[in-house]
Structure 1
C-alpha cells in the first residue's frame, strides 16, 4: 500500500513544530506589496507584514499558488510512489483549490485527492490534524478522503476582529461600517459559514468583553463539541489567546487546546489582535 502524504496550504496556520512533527507539506500563498511577491510564511512573517502596512499605509494583495506551484510540490511525492491528500482554503474565498485540481489532473487518476475545506485558517488545520490521525490508524486514501468530507460541516470557526480597518481597506466592509465601527468601538465576531466569512454578532468595548462573547458563542455548542482537540488561533494577540485558553479550560475541560499564530494571508484580511476558536462538533 502506498504511503499517504498530507499537503495543505499556508493558510492552515498550523505551527512549524506541528507541521514538522507530522511531516506535512505546505504550499504557500502569496502576499504582494507594490508588485513584489512574498511567499506566506517563507519570505515574510505576520509581524513583518504589519510593519510594511504601517510603513506603506496600504494593505497587500493576496494571491493563490499557481497550478505550476502545485505541480512542483506534488511531483516528487508521486514520483516516490506516495499518494497525496491535499486539503486547502475555501474555494469561495480563493482560486487555490481550483489551481490544485488543475495540477492534480496532470497526474495518474486516483493518486491525488483534493478536499475543499470550505474553511480558512485552522478550520483547515483541524481537518489536516484529523487526516494525520487517520493516516496513523492505517486508513486508505479513499477512506480518509470520505471521512474528512463527512466532517467538513462539523468544523466551527469564529474570530473576534479587534479592528475593522483591515476589513475596510481590503474592501470587505463599507466605509460607513468602518467609521461607525471605529466610533462605537465595535469588535465583530466573524464566522465561517458555507465557506465564506460572515459578519455576525457585534461586541463593544474592551477586547476582554469580546473574548467572553466568543466563549459564550462557543458554549452554545457545549454538548456537541468534540473535546479531543480545540484550536485557538491569533494574529499578534498572545495574551488574548492565553485568556481565551483559560476561559475554555474552565468552561469545557477539553483534552487538548492548541494555540497557533495566523500567517500573513489570514492576517492581511483580519488585522492584528484577531483571535479565534476553532473546534469540531460530534
Structure 2
C-alpha cells in the first residue's frame, strides 16, 4: 500500500482527502499571540476575519515530530509513502521532512519513503496530491506516481491576484511605494510562480479585467488542443469571484473539469483575504 501525505498548504477540500485517504499534516499559524494548527484548531474564515481586523499572522512549518511520527507509523507496517510538500522555495517543510525521513530510515532501513518537493503552493500542489492519491488507489507503483508528480512540476502553471496589496507588502513581495500607489490607482497585480517562487507578471486596474487576463494567460500557456487535467481555482473567502472565474473559463474554453476550494491559513496568511488563484497543466498527463 502506498500512502499519500501532504500538508495543509495544499488546500484540498476535506471531502477529497477523505475519499482518497490522503494524510494531511498541519502547518502552524501564529496570530494575536496564539499558535494554531491550520484547518485543525483554526479555520481559514476565522483567520481572514482576524486579518480584516488588522492582525498580521505568521506561519511556521509542520512540526518535525509530527512528520517523523507519521512516517514511522507507516514504516512500522512495512508500507510505502510519498510526502508531497509545499514548495521548498517558500517553506522549510521539505528540508525538515527529508531529515525526518533519514531518521526513520535509521530504524527501518528497508522503508520505502519518498519526500517530494512540489515547487508549488495552494491548490497547485493540491492537484498533484489529488492525482497521486487517485493513482495510488488504482494500484500504480511508487515510480509511476513519481513520474506523474515530475510531470506536474514541469508543466503546472499558477496565475493569481490579490485583493489588497498591503499583505504582499508585509510579506516583502512589493515595496511600500508600489503598495501605496497601487491602492490609490486600484491596481491589481497578476503574479505567477517560477522555480517554486512567486514573481509579479502584470498590473491591471479592476477585478473584471484581471479575471479576463488570467483566462487569456491560461489559454496562451496551454500548449495543446487535447483535454487537460483538472483546473484548480482557490480563493481567500471570495467564492463569488472564484465562481465568476470558473464561468469565464467554461465560456472561453469549454472545460468544465474545475475544482474550487478555499485557500487555507498557511497560504492565506501571506496573500490576504480576496486572493484568487488559478492552476492548470500546460501539457496533459501522459502514461509512464
Question: Cα 1:151–1:53, aligned 2, differ >3 Å: closer, same or farther?
Answer: closer
SS at match of 2:75: helix
User: Which of residues 38, 42, 51 in structure 1 aligns to 2:36?
Assistant: 38
5+ long unaligned stretches in structure 1? none
**C-alpha separation between the residues in 1 aligned to 2:149 and 2:223?**
22
Instruction: Show the counterpart of 1:19.
Output: 17
Using the TM superposition, give the Cα deviation of residue 262 of structure 1 relative to its aligned residue in structure 2, in angstroms.
0.5
Instruction: Show the counterpart of 2:92.
Output: 95
Using the TM superposition, give the Cα deviation of residue 255 of structure 1 relative to its aligned residue in structure 2, in angstroms.
5.0
Q: Is the 8 A contact 1:228 1:254 kept in 2?
A: no
SS at match of 2:103: coil
Q: Is the 8 A contact 2:191 2:200 kept in 1?
A: yes
**C-alpha separation between the residues in 1 aligned to 2:43 and 2:32?**
17
Instruction: Show the counterpart of 2:233.
Output: 232
Q: How does 1:45-194 map to 2 (within 5 A)?
A: 45-55=43-53, 57-108=54-105, 109=109, 110-194=111-195
Instruction: Show the counterpart of 2:268.
Output: 267
Q: How many residues align?
A: 278
Using the TM superposition, give the Cα deviation of residue 106 of structure 1 relative to its aligned residue in structure 2, in angstroms.
1.8
Instruction: Show the counterpart of 2:196.
Output: 195
SS at match of 1:8: strand
**C-alpha separation between the residues in 1 aligned to 2:171 and 2:90?**
13
RMSD: 1.6
Using the TM superposition, give the Cα deviation of residue 150 of structure 1 relative to its aligned residue in structure 2, in angstroms.
3.5
Q: Is the 8 A contact 1:215 1:247 kept in 2?
A: yes
**C-alpha separation between the residues in 2 aligned to 1:237 and 1:53?**
14
CA deviation map 1:60-113 (0-9, x unaligned): 111101321201222222222321001111111110101111111122345210
**C-alpha separation between the residues in 1 aligned to 2:119 and 2:100?**
20
CA deviation map 1:200-241 (0-9, x unaligned): 111112x12211111111110244375231111111111111
TM-score (norm 1): 0.93
**C-alpha separation between the residues in 2 aligned to 1:179 and 1:123?**
30
SS at match of 1:180: helix
Using the TM superposition, give the Cα deviation of residue 252 of structure 1 relative to its aligned residue in structure 2, in angstroms.
1.5
Question: Cα 1:193–1:185, aligned 2, differ >3 Å: closer, same or farther?
Answer: same
Q: Is the 8 A contact 1:31 1:63 kept in 2?
A: yes
**C-alpha separation between the residues in 2 aligned to 1:226 and 1:123?**
18
Instruction: Show the counterpart of 2:286.
Output: none
